[in-house]
Amino acid sequence: MSNQTETVSIPTNLAKRFAAVRLFTEQICETLQAEDCCIQSMPDASPIRWHLAHTTWFFETFLLKADPSYRVFDDHYEVLFNSYYNAVGEQFPRALRGMLSRPTVAQVYDYRHKVDQCVADWFTNGRIEADPQLARVVELGLNHEQQHQELILTDVKHLFSLNPLLPTFRTGTQPSTTNVTSECDWIDFEEGQHRIGNAGEGFSYDNESPLHRVFLESFAIASRPVTSGEFLKFITDDGYSRPEYWLSEGWRQVQDRGWRHPQYWYQECGEWQEFTLAGLRLLDPSAPVAHVSYFEADAYARWAGARLPTEAEWEVAAEEVPIEGNFADSLLAAGQAIHPSSRIDEKGPLDHLFGDVWEWTASQYTAYPGYQPPPGALGEYNGKFMCNQFVLRGGSCATSSDHIRRTYRNFFPPEARWQFSGFRLAR
């Protein structure tokens, strides 16, 4: 996940945005108990308390410590809540974050509020507006926090799914749905040269740049993502038992992990159900399939006689599509469940490109031509992860609406399933 470039313009309402983003993190967590916030359900996830502290550590470390007179909240936090910044110093082992009983959740909230007050004071005295570099760090920190808001939602979903009680994170009505029964349409694109990447308009992470040319052969992309009902046909056709559809490493994952269906699916009395942040619900066959790995998406595509789109194809296809969809902030404001919906936009030939589910692409996560990581510790944000990951596009129902762009490059290992990850086909 990502950093920004020197060409970024800073919004004039940065102080209000800072307050709003920090508040939204706490609003997401308001239904959780202290016990919920301390458990680490797997090494890839983190305790909610750690997310609350780490996002605060980011502002303290990269913003407030720029002032030599600033007194840190607690010297131990520099190690406890450093994620992977080797240039900053040591990090507490990631897989052991759930072993920490201190600081308490209450102490972490005190830490957040102390740092928030210090940053607010910097805004009040004009210090941040007077220094473009400080303003850039604030904007990066806010986008970083929005990434962790999404991780809070996906991590708590994984945590609750392991509890036999199957707790409800937050009740909510199901987003509006459409009964998707027909085959998807195929949208054709002619061969040609295109420019992809961010041109420095507004905030962007460093891995979205530079803007560069790509040549694409003619291709077609599906009008919507693969649905749960369509994926169920792959399951009933013994898709998980037929090695001819699987990459070698994917087949090994199927055997070692016992995959037989997407994560959070359950079958009882012949009826498929799905665990959601709003509890256990009947599977919606018309909604985009979620919580599948790259390997599962790729295997389904082979079974269907298609393939996954490259990230360049995805971005070119998205050029004229409005950035609208089911996003976390709008869903929470409407009292709806944070879950993919089978809505049909009816605003163009392509549906669900943004929101609902992140879409796996066939592209390995690597640098664009001419990419250079920024100097210093913040240069560790993206570049050093360009290995053994695949790119996802478009955001999900756990993403905030003001955090996504056509050029946004999310990335995860191909076996990852706990994110709201789905896919659409290409050919």
Q: In Å, what is the CA distance from 110 to each residue of 28, 60, 107, 126?
A: 17, 13, 5, 25
Phi first, then psi, for residue 107 (nearest 5°) are: -65, -35
What is the rounded CA–CA span in Å between residue 326 and residue 186? 23
- The Cα–Cα gap between 381 and 370 comes to 17
pLDDT for the residue 18: 97
Q: In the prediction, which pLDDT does 177 show?
A: 60
Select from 309, 308, 311 the least CA-distant residue to 247: 308
Residue type for position 219: F
pLDDT of residue 183: 84
- For residue 331 the two structure tokens come to 């869903």
- The pLDDT of residue 347 is 59
pLDDT of residue 156: 98
171, two tokens: 């009740």
Supply the pLDDT for residue 346: 56
Order of strands across the sheet with 358-364? 410-412, 390-393, 358-364, 421-422
Helix or strand (DSSP H, E) at 392:
strand 390-393
Beta-carbon contacts of 299 under 8 Å, excluding residues fewer than 6 positions away, are 234, 239, 245, 246, 247, 250
Q: Which portions of the chain are predicted below pLDDT 50?
A: 1-10
**What is the CB neighbour count within 10 angstroms for residue 368?**
17
Phi then psi for residue 376, to 5 deg, are 80, -170
DSSP string, 323-373: S-S--HHHHHHTTB-SS-------SSS--SSSSSSEEEEEEE--PPTT--P
Q: Indicate the angle between helix axes 132-161 and 48-62, nearest 10 degrees.
A: 170
How much is the pTM?
Answer: 0.94
pLDDT in tens, 312-362: 999 999 999 999 999 999 999 999 999 999 865 555 789 899 999 999 999
Report the pLDDT value the prediction gives residue 6, as an integer from 0 to 100: 37
Q: Is the dihedral of CA 162, 166, 170, 173 positive or negative?
A: positive
pLDDT at residue 7, rounded to an integer: 37
Tens-digit pLDDT profile for residues 389-419: 999 999 999 999 999 999 999 999 999 999 9
Closest by Cα among 286, 280, 18, 279 to 143? 18
